[in-house]
Amino acid sequence: MTKQKNIVELEDVVVKFVGDSGDGMQLTGTLFSDTAALAGNDLATFPDFPAEIRAPQNTVAGVSGFQVHLGQRKIFTSGDMCDVLVVMNPASLKANLKWVKPGATIIADESAFDEKGIEKAGYKTNPLEDGSLDSYHLIKAPISLLTKESLTDLEIDKKLAEKTKNMFVLGMMYFLFQRNLDNSLDFILKKFSNKPEVVKANQVALKAGYNYADTVEAIASTIKVGPAPMEKGRYRNITGNVATAWGLLAAAEKSGRPLFLGSYPITPATEILMELARHKSLGAKVFQAEDEIAGICSAIGASFTGSLGVTTTSGPGLSLKSEALGLAVITELPLVIVNVQRAGPSTGMPTKSEQSDLLQALFGRNGEAPMIIIAASSPASCFHYAYMASKFSMEHMTPVLLLTDGHMGFGSELFKIPKVADLPEINPPIAKANDHDYKPYRRDPVTLARKWALPGTEGLRHRIGGLEKTNIDGNVSTDPLNHELMVNIREDKVMRVANYIPEQEIMGEETGDLLVVGWGGTEGMLKSAVGHMQRAGKKISLAQFNYIMPLPLNTAEVLSGFKKIVVCELNKGQFVKYLRMMHPEFKYLQYNKVQGLPFHVKELTDVFTKIMEEK
């Protein structure tokens, strides 16, 4: 008879699954997250995997991980330090122990801690036996061995049996967190429906892990994390890249313009291309180009013909697209460029996140080529900002560059699925046939947007291309005064978008001792840190910017209400340079981190406390 376990109730928990690249930690973490979402928890996740395609087995360089922060309250970040760490080999323990809270639970696959694995990880002794983990609640389980034993009655090969160990450990975690197995059992059935032996093996391993955790004495307590209060609606756990793709699809539907994506695969942006390729039934056309230049040029061509032209990339690819970005500016065509930022320069660290490309987005083109710059701030918000980027691009007839990052693109959170009918209207300025007074650069007097003249429409023939054109008529021109006029008009058109974007909001009071300023994907960490200090009675507030070029109209008013301003960025200070340029009347402090890692909440609260105490 199974001994009754104690139940520990927690408001939130950070769990991390880590193992070798082939151990299935991404799938394990995803299934655990989906089950948590179905149980009503709010959550945020972040997968962490190596840049090497085939790193040597059982080495620190080859460790792959998936972190989940779940709770019965609103979750803003994927978490700082782990409450539960699942390690499938010595290397994964070596790489991740520094991220574990003292007293946390560590579940280790004892089978993998053999002499060879221990040596490859850089240990001199077995960490499961030498006392170095005495400050943690260590659960040693021969997971690999037990998985194989649970499958002895099935006629499967050893390789398949070995691969199911991630399901065994997932079963253990479901018991630890009092979760139901049904969702994962259904997933296995659907994913491997044409391979019945794989379905059976994974389902048996999942149940075996659950039953083992129920009986093993080392697990004396289970963890209960209750459901979080949420608005009524339909939710799903969504990554930033998928949310971006959905935002683009929604904008295409709302505007009545077909969606065309021309892109070249690049980490961490490729999943946007992959997601849109699944939705041909919604009218999306996806072209995997031979290089970055072909990708953006095909999107500009599609925009010329009347499609919502989109191209996706990351930092190195954005560099290659820079000349064509100027082409989109001078032709005044709609174009959405999504840059999922990663650590640079050059190839840098492809799987690590960084706010690396703001200055490139603002100024990385030849000539005077201003464009609208928007930055998403969380995986779910990628939907909204991809939609708004499309709206502004089509309605104002100019390119928009949307900045996300690898942390958002690969990470996930709960997303309340909106109704397309409730989304803002998108009204592209399509020129009408047989408009006898049509001129290609005659503009809307308020927005300065020109009409979108679709090829083949009667009476709308006009010149297009990268050479400067005369205002109104659109003839090729090298007249110096006309060039200056057109440069000023294109800049003014972008700056007038400030009249259509929302005013900058402040989290907290409008005046105080310290204003924390962030932009884009640091929002969750900054919100958590500032919220913690506000609850402690500190006069601190947060302004998180999403609209970068142009800045909101009330930016100076927001900045003027505080004794000190600190700008926090995952780079060397790109936004603060821009603020000093646009609003030099203020003094800015800065806090920067360039490690390919997100901010930690405690790290931020320590910095803010020190700034507020300094005279």
- Condensed to tens digits (0 to 9), the pLDDT of residues 240-291 reads 999 999 999 999 999 999 999 999 999 999 999 999 999 999 999 999 999 9
Q: Where are the alpha helices (DSSP H) in 177-291?
A: 182-191, 196-215, 240-255, 270-277
**104-108, 402-406, 455-459: segment of lowest average pLDDT:** 455-459
Tell me the pLDDT tens digit for each residue of 462-471: 989 999 999 9
Instruction: Report d(CA 606, CA 609) in Å as an integer.
Output: 5
Residues with Cβ < 8 Å from 410, sequence gap 6 or more? 46, 47, 239, 240, 241, 268, 271
At 223 the pLDDT is 93
CB 465 within 8 A of CB 488: no
Residue type, 232: K
Tell me the pLDDT tens digit for each residue of 556-606: 999 999 999 999 999 999 999 999 999 999 999 999 999 999 999 999 999
512-613 folds as Rossmann fold (3.40.50)
Tell me the pLDDT tens digit for each residue of 294-316: 999 999 999 999 999 999 999 99
* Domain at 236-422: CATH architecture: 3-Layer(aba) Sandwich (3.40)
Residue 446 CA, distance from chain mean position: 35
Residue 134, pLDDT above cutoff 70 = yes
CB 171 within 8 A of CB 206: yes
Checking 226-233 for CB contacts under 8 A at 24+ apart, the result is 226/9, 226/40, 226/72, 227/39, 227/40, 227/41, 227/72, 228/40, 228/41, 228/42, 228/71, 228/72, 228/73, 228/74, 228/75, 229/73, 230/40, 230/42, 230/414, 230/416, 231/416, 233/416, 233/417
Residue 49, pLDDT above cutoff 90 = no
For residue 30, give the nearest of 289, 411, 361, 290 by alpha carbon: 411
Where residue 156 falls among pLDDT bands split at 50, 70, 90?
confident
At 1 the pLDDT is 46
Tell me the pLDDT tens digit for each residue of 181-233: 999 999 999 999 999 999 999 999 999 999 999 998 888 889 999 999 999 99
> CA of 424: how far to CAs of 253, 255, 389, 396, 505, in Å?
12, 10, 12, 15, 20
Match 């308020």 to its residue by tokens.
446
Mean pLDDT, range 398-417, rounded to an integer: 96
At 485 the pLDDT is 98
Q: Where in the chain is the domain with CATH 3.40.50.970?
A: 236-422
Instruction: Report d(CA 535, CA 183) in Å as an integer.
Output: 38
Q: Residue 597: how many CB atoms within 10 A of its CB? A: 15
Q: What is the pTM of this model?
A: 0.94
CB 406 within 8 A of CB 353: yes
In angstroms, the first-to-last Cα distance of the chain is: 65
Match 């963890």 to its residue by tokens.
223
What is the dihedral sign for C-alpha 358, 361, 366, 372?
negative
Query: Mean pLDDT across the chain, nearest whole number?
Result: 95
Q: Residue 457: how many CB atoms within 10 A of its CB? A: 16
What's the burial of 483, exposed, middle or buried (CB within 10 Å: 0-12/13-18/19+)? middle
Residue 136 CA, distance from chain mean position: 32
Residues with Cβ < 8 Å from 206, sequence gap 6 or more? 167, 168, 170, 171, 174, 181, 184, 185, 188
CA angle at 47 for the pair 45 and 51, rounded to the nearest 5°:
160
- Percent of the chain scored above 70 by pLDDT? 99
For residue 127, is the peptide bond before it cis, meaning its omega torsion is within 30 degrees of 0?
no
For residue 173, give the nearest of 30, 75, 20, 57 by alpha carbon: 30
Where residue 3 falls among pLDDT bands split at 50, 70, 90?
low
Residue 52, pLDDT above cutoff 80 = no
Q: Considering only residues 61 and 448, tell me which one the structure prediction assigns the higher pLDDT.
A: 448
Q: Where in the chain is the domain with CATH 3.40.50.920?
A: 512-613
Q: Where in the chain is the domain with CATH 3.40.920.10?
A: 6-224
* Domain at 6-224: CATH architecture: 3-Layer(aba) Sandwich (3.40)
Strand arrangement of the beta sheet that strand 589-592 belongs to: 540-545, 512-519, 562-569, 589-592
Instruction: Report d(CA 396, CA 234) in Å as an integer.
Output: 33
At 2 the pLDDT is 54
Mean pLDDT, range 102-106, rounded to an integer: 95
Residue 174, pLDDT above cutoff 90 = yes
Residue 122, pLDDT above cutoff 50 = yes
Tell me the pLDDT tens digit for each residue of 349-393: 998 999 999 999 999 999 999 999 999 999 999 999 999 999 999
For residue 330, give the nearest of 441, 216, 451, 444 by alpha carbon: 441
| φ and ψ of 501, to 5 deg | -95, 155
